[in-house]
Structure 1
Amino acid sequence: MPLRGFAFLIVYFVLLGFPLLLTRTSDDETVLSSPFIALRFLIVTAVFAVLAAVAGLWGWLAVRFRVDGDDLVVENGLLRKRARRIPLSRVQAIDLVRPLVTRIFGLTEVRVELAGGDQGEIALRYLGRNAAQQLRAELLARAAGLPGHTPEAPERPLWRTPFGSLLGSLLIRLPVLATVLLFFASLMFMVVAREPGMLAVAVPALLGLIRAVIAPMVMYAGFTAALSPDGVRLRYGLLETRMQTVPPGRVQAVALVEPVLWKALGWARLDVTVAGYAGERQALSSTLLPVAPRAVCLHLISQVFSGTNVDAVPLVPASGRGMALDRADGAGTDERIFVSRHGWPGRRTDVIAHARAQSVRLTVNPMQRLLGLATVHVDAPPGPVKVDAADRELGEARAIVDAVAKRSLAARRAGGDKARWAR
């Protein structure tokens, strides 16, 4: 309630409060208003403070939730109540989010991600830290098919990203280095040639650096990954801290990204498509590891897709790419996963488990039609990871489609019901 009222007052002060205290003279100068206007300001502020408190109290009383058996029931409204009953089997992930302001009050927001796209998020605001952790543990247990009083599963630390490694990984990327050179070159030219118009180049370059370096630093500071029976646990954030738990079976596809300058240091990034996230929430939750040794990334993939070894899958180079500079490029499959690797001098390896494949399709563009080639797409739910094998001979592409379709069907039948994975 205080947080909602505080936000309401901030909007008031920006739009109405401060202008009430200031007046403009005939010399076009801004000065403090007269005592009478100041008194009017205090009266209006008091009224808005009462309205803010009422609005905060109303919003707090309007939301109720409870766990009823295997369902989460969320009720909204005071005069006109609406109840939403969500089966916990639809839970895709549960995040504990603590924005900067709520951390001051020791509060936490519980975000429950459901299968359902843009409308699949439920935000339970704001709980005490211990209450939020207990609620998260209960929801995860029930979603896994266990009793609600099951204690939180222990975790095994996997990786903690050092601050220096995170900063270095953000800086030693070719686009970032090019932007840095552009920024300083434009500043030097502006000073030497006394050309203020170069600000039109320097300012966008600076904004690009803030987005590419500062924003990820703030977001992923203190990043840690741990493994537990209830999934992969991620903790990160400088201003807004987040604890994200991705249950087993919710990861649909992963991408091992190795920019050219990272390869010399043995670094990689692990991107992921998680079922249930959509839109902006997908973008904010698409990184499983921001930077880590390649061996750590491969180990995490083997945990997400149990019993797999990406490097052990034999890859067949694409037809029409006989002049490829990196002969490690290609696509291949085994009984568990489909792997596609491409890119030079940087490299990207896309991986999807057969049990996660939504569909397999073959496409041919006009140029490929002339050359007798095709592209095979192994589709996962919408997300940042797209798995495909491009420029394959038409007969080979059709064989890949048939093989992947059969393996996906067999993997789904053998996997059983994933809704209650703990059983």
Structure 2
Amino acid sequence: MYPGPVYPAPGYRYVPPAPPPPVRFSVGTHRVHWATAPLRAFTIMIVYFVLLGFPLLMTRTSDGAAVSFSPVVLLRFLIVSLVVGAGAVAAGLWGWLGLRFRIEGDDLVVENGLLRRRVRRIPLSRIQAIDVVRPLVTRVFSLAEVRVELAGGEQSEIPFRYLGRRAAGDLRAELLARAAGLPGHTPEAPERPVYRVPFGTLLGGLVLRLPVIATFLLMIFSLVFLIAFRELAMLAVALPALLGLIRAVIAPMVMYANFTVAVSPDGVRLRYGLLETRMQTVPPGRVQAVSVVEPSIWRGPGWARLDVTVAGYAGERQALSSTLLPAAPRAVVAQLVALVFPGTNFDAVPLLPASQRGMTVDRADGAGTDDVIFVARHGWLCRRTDIIAHARAQSVRLTVNPVQRLLGLATVHVDAPPGLVQVAAADRDLGEARAIVESTALRARSARAASGDTAHWAARQNQAR
């Protein structure tokens, strides 16, 4: 017979199990998650089936018209698949066993290889950003990839594919803590949410752009012409326009969905992504320059985009990580700029217009500076306000093109590390341009001397207190 429900004894109190202790990567040598090996082997097999496997299964008859299968073809396919599968498993195990890493003091030590070992020691002060990326497949297995972006060098990215989700967070927290000069067991710093981009704002920001609107109208016109006159040649116009809309609207929407910005003592934290989620952490002082982008249609609802240059990103990674806010009210963008460059208000910096003899169309363009930042505004259909902190300036230079030489004008460039944001004040009178170069160089030297090195920033703050 059923004994009936069992009730706990009087006074019983359920105590949930304690969470497992965090992983200390400064103790011992560590490897990535064991599931990395089968995932890599699975990826190799998928590529094999797509490029070679299915063609091996198909054979044509003597007339070359029909496709048929034979026992010989099937046997050949099985033999080749077993050989490739064994190679894929070996490659997965080789890659998993060959990667080891640990934290020694203020250095991240990465070892690669089995037969020939290669040891790389990276000072934590070179870390520019730490990204935690979770592609769709790895989210099923609760795995994550940690990408450590370094300053300069050809190999400026160190990827750890893949770690457990909890281990990935522990590695990120320990790297950020030690780079700030704190003990490795320091818990993750709390964060303060700044803004979450609503879906309507993101969609509106992607759609309300002149190139997107023009491409959409071109596609509609070609489809109407195709239906009305039965002209199939218009597909050569409609299909590229459709692909362009997918790339300009659908792809960024999937990438920047659920975009959230938060600030914490260890830097700016970004979370975004629909299919592939990404958590990006930019430590304090690593943002080199920012640009407030305001397309003409966005000025009606008062929206803006915030682009950024962070040293260490290169190539495709630079393009993927150059947006600090895809679309937001301009007041929110100004607030985030003030958080990135503390104590600044770029709207309060007086801008001197360019020379009347220049080629500038919009007389709202101009450039100005204060003791902390240099600001340059330009553009008419798409207005850009480029901002760089004097402490982040790499050089200040003056250039003159042939037209400017005839008009007695020059352009002043305040150079940041290579990136999306390039700060320049165009069409200045030659004497004014030389004065801007001298004063900006002096301000940059003073700012660098006052700010000092950004390494161990938390330890210096604690000593100052």
TM-score per shorter chain, which class?
over 0.9
* Matched ranges for 1:240-259 at <5 A: 240-259=276-295
CA distance in 1, matches of 2:72, 2:153: 54
Aligned AA (1:43):
I
How many angstroms apart in 2 are the aligned matches of 1:321 and 1:420?
A: 49
Question: Compared with structure 1, are the counterparts of its residues 20 and 324 closer, same or farther at alpha carbon in structure 2 (3 Å cutoff)?
Answer: closer
- Which residue matches 1:287? 323
Deviation at 1:322, TM superposition (A): 8.7
Asked if residue 83 in structure 1 is aligned to residue 106 in structure 2, the reply is no
1:4 maps to a residue whose letter is R
- Counterparts in 2 of 1:229-308, with a 5 A limit? 229-308=265-344
How far did residue 168 of structure 1 move? 1.1
Other-structure match for 1:391: 427
Q: CA deviation at 1:46?
A: 2.7
Offset of 1:396 from its aligned partner?
Answer: 0.8
Aligned to 2:410: 374
Match of 2:232 in 1: 196
Contact (CA 8 Å) 2:357, 2:407: kept in 1 or not?
no
Q: State yes or no: 1:410 paired with 2:441.
A: no
2:409 paired with 1:363: no
2:203 aligned residue (134, 158, 167): 167
Amino acid at match of 1:396: E
Deviates more, 1:140-149 or 1:25-34: 25-34
Q: How many residues align?
A: 423
Paired position in structure 2 for 1:19: 55
Deviations 1:37-82 (A, max 9, x none): 3244233323322221121111110101000111000000011111
Q: Hey, what does 2:191 align to over in structure 1?
A: 155
Asked if the contact 2:392–2:416 (Cα under 8 Å) also holds between the matched residues in 1, the reply is yes
Aligned pairs (5 A) from 1:18-167: 18-167=54-203
User: Are the counterparts in 1 of residues 354 and 363 from structure 2 also a CA contact under 8 Å?
Assistant: no
- How far apart are the structure 1 equivalents of 2:334 and 2:218? 36
* Alpha-carbon shift at residue 326 of structure 1 (Å): 4.7
Q: What's the offset of the Cα at 1:187?
A: 1.4
Whole-angstrom distance in 2 between the partners of 1:115 and 1:4: 29
Deviations 1:297-345 (A, max 9, x none): 0000001001000111001111126997754321111111010111114
**How large is the RMSD of aligned CA atoms in angstroms?**
1.5
Instruction: Name which one, 1 or 2, has greater alpha-carbon Rg.
Output: 2
Paired residue type of 2:57: L
Q: Specify every segment of 5 or more residues in structure 1 that has no aligned partner in the other structure, as ranges.
A: none
Aligned counterpart for 1:225 among listed residues 244, 249, 261: 261
Matched AA of 1:138: E
Secondary structure of 1:119's counterpart equals coil
3-state DSSP of counterpart to 1:67: strand
Aligned-pair CA distance for 1:30 = 4.2
* One-letter amino acid of the counterpart of residue 306, structure 2: L
Deviations 1:133-185 (A, max 9, x none): 00000001111111111110000001111112111110110010000000111
- The secondary structure found in structure 1 opposite 2:419 is coil
TM-score (norm 2): 0.88
Correspondent of 2:380 among 333, 344, 349 = 344
Q: Distance in 2 between matches of 1:417 and 1:261?
A: 41
- 1:410 CA drift (Å): 0.5
